Amino acid sequence: MAFLKRILRILFARAEAVFDWSFGQSNNPFSHLGALGWYFFWIVAASGIYLYLFFDTGITDAYASVEYITNDQWYAAGIMRSLHRYASDALVIVVFLHILREFSLDRLRGKRFFAWITGVPLLWFIYMCGITGYWLVWDSLAQYIAIATSEWLDTLPFFGEPIANNFLNSATLGGRFFTLMVFMHIFAPLLMLFLMWLHIQRHAHARVNPPRALAIGTAVTLVVLSLVYPAVSQGPANLDVVPASVNLDWYYLAVYPLLDVIPGGQRWLVLVVGSIILSLMPWLPPAKKIWTPVVSLQNCNGCGRCFDDCPFGAISMEPRSDGASFALEAVVDTDHCVSCGICTGSCPTATPFRRTSAIVPGIELPDYTVADLREKTMEAAQNFGDEARIIIYTCDHSGTEELRENGAQVITMPCVGMLPPAFIDFALSRDFADGVMLAGCAEGDCYYRLGDDWTNQRIDGKRDPYLRKRVDRDRLETSWLPTGSSRRRERDLQDFRTWLEGLPPKEPKRRRNRD
């Protein structure tokens, strides 16, 4: 499993580098696959509602109404039909990439299982929506799908009279089952929307909207595609004739040719066993036990910043239990916490500017304490060579180990978002380093979802606790890159070193001035 993840990671890193180069890091579609899934869903829903205004739900008139939509009203309903189809196809593509990417990044294991197992039934619903949609056109493709699907459904012991009998010939054609399909094509997306909502319930500040430039670019591409290559039907269904050949939509219907190969009941077995194996992925093999943060009530003033910043909604603010004069205290839900440490980075009491004995913040991970971080920062200062002295604060997921060999001192933590901004001030103002570099995952694609966002906002003074204005920004560098970008990371470090060496020497004195 680990080998498969590594291979996928390398492939994604290569593809992402190309997209980074052409789209820019913040608009790289690979970083927004989940959000693009939502976006395509809304396009499909909006175009579907428009189409429904002109669609005739009776089996005898359905084909004619779709022809009217496609040809007579090509400039509006026709474009909507194409958008409906292409956005549905795009949904399948982004969802499959999304699954593979989350799997390769291991963002499904242990306490992060929830999004994965709610994703499995989502897959079923995506297909249910797509297949029932193709059915409604009632062309020769729909005829093929209707017969193959009803024969497949007839292998279940629930139906008294075989459903396939509805489609034996024109004389036996029953509108009942067709109407059921219309109903399912409306009902399944509603259930799908509910599942999509459930899917992100363990994510605080879930990203359900792609960046504006990416959204506009994607919409324009879909409209151009719809104009150049409009979606059309494949000739009316005729149950008295077996369709000789049909063009399949391989995104939704690739499974149909397999139905001829896999016999009756075994198809259900494959589907059920496949879904069970997929659902078990988060525990194959079980994740290691992790330490969750400890709240120190003597140092927690109930400000709620950790609650705002936790990417997994694992902190709640509860009435004070220790009789202190503050109204609230932070409480960690260990079932939801993934031990990213981001809450420590947001706690105003997490500061190294204190005596060692007093360095216990309101919240911290027992195996990555703020006191240790301070110790490591001071130790780093002892180990520099002749070049510009750079401390790199980095995370377990950015592959920065090799930068140690380049003369920098690397201090690793679960997520860069765990670093309280006061540490940057501490390292520079106490002259432990000439420069500080924060090296984390690609922008908008933090392993723990929001660590890079919060860090950037703290540096820019947009999010508490912010980096004090007195900190010389010329001596601070950020390097947000995808895992596996070691060459680009080395280049960032080298550029920063050259930049630092060109700066005038630091003022020796530390003046006490207020921001």
Residues that bind ligand SF4 (CB under 6 A): 292-293, 295, 300-306, 310, 312, 314-315, 330, 332, 337-343, 346-347, 349, 362-363
Strand partners, 368: 365
5 scored as a contact of ligand HEM (CB under 6 A): no
Q: How many CA atoms lie within 13 A of 267 on its CB side?
A: 18
User: In angstroms, what is the minimal distance from the CB of 394 to ligand HEM?
Assistant: 20
The answer to whether residue 37 forms part of the interface with ligand HEM (CB under 6 A) is yes
The option from ligand HEM, ligand SF4, none interacting with 231 (CB < 5 to 8 A, set by class) reads none
Which segment (116-124, 136-144, 250-258, 359-367) binds ligand HEM by CB under 6 A?
116-124
For 31, which DSSP code?
A: G
Q: Which position among 196, 337, 380, 395 is part of the footprint of ligand HEM (CB under 6 A)?
A: 196
Please give the angle made by the CA atoms of 322, 328 and 332, to the nearest 5 degrees.
85
DSSP string, 186-215: HHHHHHHHHHHHHHTTT-TT---S--HHHH
Q: How many residues bind ligand HEM (CB under 6 A)?
A: 26
Total Cβ atoms within 10 A of residue 20: 21
What single DSSP character describes residue 310?
A: -
In the set 9, 81, 84, 98, which binds ligand HEM (CB under 6 A)? Answer: 98
> In the numeric block, which tokens belong to residue 316?
């709640």
Residue 244 to residues 241, 247, 329, 490: CA-CA distances in angstroms? 9, 11, 70, 59
Nearer to ligand SF4, 211 or 362 (CB): 362
List the single partner that 152 binds among ligand SF4, ligand HEM, none, CB under 5 to 8 Å by kind: none
Does 198 bind ligand HEM (CB under 6 A)? Our answer is: no
- Pick between residue 295 and residue 416 the one whose CB is nearest to ligand SF4: 295
Q: Evaluate whether 470 touches 426 at the Cβ level (below 8 Å).
A: no
**Looking at 30-38, 347-355, 380-388, 481-489, which segment touches ligand HEM (CB under 6 A)?**
30-38
Please report whether residue 200 would count as binding ligand HEM according to CB under 6 A: yes
Residue 123: enclosing H or E segment and its boundaries? helix 113-136
> Shortest Cβ contact with ligand SF4: which residue?
362
Helix 175-199, helix 33-54: angle, nearest 10 = 150
If contact means CB under 5 to 8 A according to the sort of partner, which of ligand SF4, ligand HEM, none does residue 346 touch? ligand SF4
CB of residue 45 to ligand HEM, shortest distance in Å: 12
The binder of ligand HEM chosen from 79, 90, 99, 181 (CB under 6 A): 99
Q: Tell me which of 20, 89, 102, 364 binds ligand HEM, using CB under 6 A.
A: 102
By beta-carbon proximity to ligand SF4, the closer residue of 29 and 362 is 362
How far apart are the C-alpha atoms of 9 and 100, rounded to whole Å?
Answer: 9
| Minimum separation from the CB atom of position 121 to ligand SF4 (A) | 25
**202-207: which pairs have CB atoms within 8 A and are 24 or more residues apart?**
202/112, 202/114, 202/115, 202/312, 202/313, 202/336, 203/115, 203/311, 203/312, 203/313, 203/449, 204/310, 204/311, 204/312, 204/313, 204/450, 205/311, 205/449, 205/450, 207/32, 207/34, 207/35, 207/444
340 binding ligand HEM? (CB under 6 A): no
Q: Supply the minimum distance, in Å, between the C-beta of residue 281 and ligand SF4.
A: 21
Query: Whole-number minimum distance, CB 189 to ligand SF4, in Å?
Result: 32
Question: What DSSP designation does 330 have?
Answer: E
Answer for which of 13, 62, 92, 122 binds ligand HEM (CB under 6 A) is 122
Binding positions for ligand HEM, 449-478, rule CB under 6 A: 449
Q: Which partner from the list ligand HEM, ligand SF4, none does 123 bind, CB cut-off 5 to 8 Å by kind?
A: ligand HEM
Q: Work out whether 115 is an interface residue with ligand HEM (CB under 6 A).
A: yes
Applying CB under 6 A, which of residues 43, 95, 222, 441 lies at the interface with ligand HEM?
A: 95
Contact 79, 87 (CB under 8 A): no
Residue closest to ligand HEM (Cβ) = 119
**Please, what is the Cα angle at 360 between 356 and 363, to 5 degrees?**
155
Of 9, 112, 305, 374, the residue at the interface with ligand HEM (CB under 6 A) is 112
Contacts of 53 (CB under 8 A, 6+ apart): 77
For residue 89, the minimal CB distance to ligand HEM (Å) is 13
Q: Which two tokens stand for residue 371?
A: 């006191």
Coil, helix or strand at residue 58: coil
Binding site for ligand HEM (CB under 6 A): 34-35, 37-38, 95, 98-99, 102, 107-108, 112, 115-116, 119-120, 122-123, 126, 196, 199-200, 203, 206-208, 449
